[in-house]
Amino acid sequence: MPLSDQTPAGVLISFEGSEGSGKTTQIARLAKRLQAMGRDVISTREPGGSEIGEQIRNIIVHNSKGDEMCAETELLLFAAARAQLVREAIAPALLRGAIVLSDRFLDSSTVYQGIGRNLAMGPVNQINRFAVGNVMPHLTIVIDVPTSVSLERIRQRASDLPDRMERENIDFYEKVRSGYLLLAKGMPERFVVIDGTQSEDAIEKQIWAAIEVRLFKKSASSSAKKKLAKPAKKKTPTRAAAKKAPARATKNATKKTVARKPAAKSSPPAARKSARRR
């Protein structure tokens, strides 16, 4: 197994979502924040993240015959790249205590090849687990956007032409989106769904809040409480209160003196009778 019997000191956070959901942007922002805190951070992607993995990526997304690739081949290629990435980069980083941010992980195969390509989930899950062994995300963040928004963002990209995965039709991406939401609903202890139509700053803030609660075990309201908690101000007595204070003190002192005065001793019955006879 990639991690043998050792308990990793590090943390694996995977980011999932449809094409154009904004995963790459948020991973960069989170990495910067964690590094500013002095944490050891590794950012990687799937397929890719290693020399072998990048070559497999090129076959999957840019091969001239890619449109002829069958779903089973696609699944196995993703799994091969993932197996190499886990053993070459992710597992060693976790063992040394690093925080690993992965742009996609095994849930992508479950959704894209299992649900999107209609492959049987049994074999998909078995292949996934064989590839990753005992390396599973501690937290999976799904950045969810409507399919129309996803496709529009792909069209607006000014860099390369859409790759083979990005050229899929709207029905495929509807299935992908539904698949992620289904996974998140079934495993709420690991998944967090973020609305990807918000501003980048708002998304970053929500991701960080989820990480604090899920991984750093920090109460969601603790930071807010700290900001609100202010030292109590000493009350300054008013002039009227200052004038009344001495009078109150004298009155209280008098009460105490009266209370402490010993009661007069009463004469015994025999003495009282003698006094009456006289």
What pLDDT, in 10s, does the model give residues 53-84?
999 999 999 888 888 999 999 999 999 999 99
The yes-or-no verdict on residue 35 having pLDDT over 50 is yes
Q: With left for phi above 0 and alpha for psi between -120 and 50, is residue 22 left, alpha or beta?
A: left
- pLDDT per position as a tens digit, 239-252: 555 455 454 544 55
CATH match of 11-220 with 3.10.310.10: no
- pLDDT per position as a tens digit, 80-137: 999 999 999 999 999 999 999 999 999 999 999 999 999 999 999 999 999 999 999 9
The yes-or-no verdict on residue 25 having pLDDT over 90 is yes
CB atoms within 10 A of CB 217: 7
Q: How many Å apart are CA 55 and CA 172, to the nearest integer?
A: 25
Q: Which residues pair with 12 in a beta bridge?
A: 100
Q: How many Å apart are CA 135 and CA 88, to the nearest integer?
A: 12
Q: Which two tokens stand for residue 162?
A: 């859409």
Determine which helix (DSSP H) or strand (DSSP E) holds 153, and give its type and residue range.
helix 147-156
How many residues are given for the chain? 278
168 versus 179: the higher-pLDDT residue is 179
Q: With left for phi above 0 and alpha for psi between -120 and 50, is residue 48 left, alpha or beta?
A: left
Determine which helix (DSSP H) or strand (DSSP E) holds 3, and give its type and residue range.
none
The yes-or-no verdict on residue 191 having pLDDT over 80 is yes
What pLDDT score does 258 carry? 42
Cβ–Cβ < 8 Å for 41, 35: yes
Max CA separation in the chain (angstroms): 139
Q: How many Å apart are CA 38 and CA 28, to the nearest integer?
A: 15
What pLDDT score does 248 carry? 52
The share of the chain scoring above pLDDT 90, in percent, equals 64
The yes-or-no verdict on residue 269 having pLDDT over 50 is no
Confidence grade of residue 160 (pLDDT, cut at 50, 70, 90): low
Q: Which residues pair with 45 in a beta bridge?
A: 103
Look up the pTM and report it. 0.77
Q: Is the peptide bond before 47 cis (omega within 30 degrees of 0)?
A: yes
126 versus 215: the higher-pLDDT residue is 126
160 versus 140: the higher-pLDDT residue is 140
Q: How many Å apart are CA 125 and CA 103, to the nearest integer?
A: 19
Nearest to 88 by CA among 28, 126, 140, 133: 133
30 versus 163: the higher-pLDDT residue is 30
Nearest to 9 by CA among 68, 96, 136, 104: 96
SS3 assignment, position 155: helix
- Give the relative orientation of helices 121-132 and 71-85 as an angle to the nearest 10 degrees: 20
E strands, the chain, where?
A: 11-16, 41-45, 99-103, 139-144, 191-195
Core vs surface per residue 33-58: b (16+ CB within 10 A) or e: ebeeeeeebbbbbbbbbbeebeebbe
What pLDDT score does 159 carry? 59
Domain ranges of the chain: 11-220
DSSP strand pairing (41-45 vs 99-103): parallel
